[in-house]
Amino acid sequence: MHRSILDILKMKKEKKKISVITSYDYTLASLCDKAGIDVLLVGDSAGMVMLGYENTIPVTMDQMCMFTEAVSRARKNALLVSDLPFMSYQASIEDAISNSGKLIKSGADAVKLEGGSIMAETISAIVDVGIPVMGHIGLQPQTTMLSQGYKVQGKTKDTAMKLIEDAKELEKAGVFSIALEMVSHEVAEIISQTVSVPIIGIGSGVGCDGQVLVVQDLLGMYDKIKPKFAKRYMHLSEDIVKSLEDYKNDVISGTFPAEENWFSMEEDELKKLREQIGS
C-alpha cells in the first residue's frame, strides 16, 4: 500500500521531514520509489528535461498524462502528485476539474497547480469533487517566469506578507500541501510555522517541512540549467558520455560484440546449412 495524503499530513505533525523527487519515467521513478522517497512529483518540467523545450509553457495535458502513467506504473510506495500544465486550469473551473480528473485517471493521487489567492476558488472546487491538491507559490514557472524570469521571491516585507497571505488562502481552500519555490529562507520558515499543511521547499531553505529535487539534477544528468538550489550527488552525465565513447570505440575496433554477447547455432545444424547453400 503506497503512502496516502494522511500519511504526508501526519509527517508534518510528527515533525518528520518529507522527501520529494520530481521524476518523469518508469526507470528512474522505480529507483526513486525503491529508495523510499515519500512523494514522487511528475512535474511539467518534463517538457524541459525530457522533451527539450526552453520552458514549461508548451507542455500539454496529453504529455502530462503520458508521464504520469509511466511513473504510476513504477511506484509501489510513494505518493504520486502530478502537475497541471499551463492553461489546463486557468481558463475555467470546469477545465481545472476535468483536467485534474485526467491526471487522476492516469495514476496520480493528487494534482499540483500554481497560484496564490487568485487560484483559491479553483482549488476549492477541485478539492470539493474529491481530488487532493498541492498548491505552488513563490516562483511560478508558468506565470512568474514569463514576467520576471528566475527571481528569488519574498525579499521585501510587502512581498513576504503577500506570500504568507497566499499560503493561508491556499490552506483555507483545502490544499494538503504547498510547494514553495525560490523563496527567501526566512519567509519560507515563517510560512512553514504559520500553516498546518506541509510546505515543500524548492530552493527555499531548510526551514520547510520537506524538500524536492528533480532526479536528473540530483544525479547530474541534466546540464542545460544548473540552479543554485539543486545539489548534485553524482555527475552521471560525464560517466554516461564516457561510456558511450567507449562503446563507439569498441564497435569500431571490433571488440564489441564479443563471443559472450552473441548467439550460436548447434555445430551439426551449421554443417547442414553449409551443405545446403554449398558453402
Strand 177-181 to 199-202 pairing: parallel
- What are the backbone dihedrals phi and psi of residue 195, each rounded to the nearest 5 degrees, phi first? -105, 155
151 known ligand binder: no
Taking alpha carbons only, the member of 220, 218, 187, 215 closest to residue 201 is 187
Taking alpha carbons only, the member of 85, 101, 90, 103 closest to residue 46 is 85
Residue with cell 510528527: 14
44 known ligand binder: yes
Contact 139, 114 (CB under 8 A): no
Looking at 121, 181, 238, 267, which residue is catalytic? Answer: 181
166 known ligand binder: no
Specify which residues 153 forms β-bridges with. Answer: 183
Taking alpha carbons only, the member of 73, 173, 186 closest to residue 133 is 173
Active site residue 245: no
Known binding-site positions for 3-methyl-2-oxobutanoate: 44-45, 83, 112
Residues labelled as active-site residues: 181
Known binding-site positions: 44-45, 83, 112, 114
Known binding-site positions for Mg(2+): 44, 83, 114
